[in-house]
């Protein structure tokens, strides 16, 4: 498998693939929540009760939809990368708490857990060279 060893030279491209893939999926999931209006925001915001935040569910739902939709776009272009990863990590922690709190089990929560782990790692890695935030 020596031919796979040379792929280490393409870490920045790998980060680009991760950013674009995650960004597209978060826009895909976030935009319907954002476009759903007040009722959808209120429903989405109810998830915060599983982390003992019981006030302003509509505001939290709107913020969640904004973070998913615009955060997905910012992931793709790699701008404000670490703050966006932190906000998306918080979003995924709340989603995990909701699934586990509702009794859905680990299988239902696994997607949110996997995304949370990914965002936690990306906070340390940064966006890579192919981004607006390139360093």
Question: What is the spatial distance between Cα 104 and Cα 116, in angstroms, rounded to a whole number?
Answer: 18
Mean pLDDT of the chain: 94
Which H helix or E strand runs over 26?
helix 11-35
pLDDT tier, 6 (very low <50, low <70, confident <90, very high otherwise): confident
Q: What is the pTM of this model?
A: 0.92
- Domain membership flag for residue 37: yes
pLDDT of residue 38: 96
Per-residue pLDDT averaged across 123-133, rounded? 92
Structural domain containing residue 34: 11-125
Do 57 and 51 touch, CB atoms closer than 8 A?
no
pLDDT of residue 1: 66
Helices (H), 36-126: 37-45, 57-77, 81-101, 106-125
- Domain membership flag for residue 19: yes
Is 100 a residue whose pLDDT tops 80? yes
Do 14 and 22 touch, CB atoms closer than 8 A?
no
- Domain membership flag for residue 134: no
Is 88 a residue whose pLDDT tops 80? yes
Per-residue pLDDT averaged across 33-44, rounded? 96
In total, how many domains does the chain have?
A: 1
Closest CA to 93 of 64, 71, 70, 122: 64
- Domain membership flag for residue 2: no
pLDDT of residue 7: 82
DSSP type of residue 86: H
Is 118 a residue whose pLDDT tops 70? yes
């Amino acid at each position: 498998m020596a031919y796979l060893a040379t792929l280490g030279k393409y870490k920045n491209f790998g980060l680009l693939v991760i950013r674009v893939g995650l960004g597209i999926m978060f826009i895909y999931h976030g935009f319907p929540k954002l476009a759903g209006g007040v009722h959808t925001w209120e429903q989405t915001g109810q998830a915060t009760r599983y982390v003992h935040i019981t006030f302003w569910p509509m505001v939290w739902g709107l913020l969640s939809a904004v973070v998913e939709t615009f955060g997905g776009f910012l992931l793709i272009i790699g701008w404000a990368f670490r703050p966006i990863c932190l906000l998306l990590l918080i979003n995924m922690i709340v989603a995990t708490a909701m699934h586990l709190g509702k009794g859905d089990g680990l299988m239902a929560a696994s997607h949110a857990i996997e995304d949370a782990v990914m965002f936690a790692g990306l906070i340390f890695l940064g966006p890579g060279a192919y981004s607006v935030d390139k360093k």
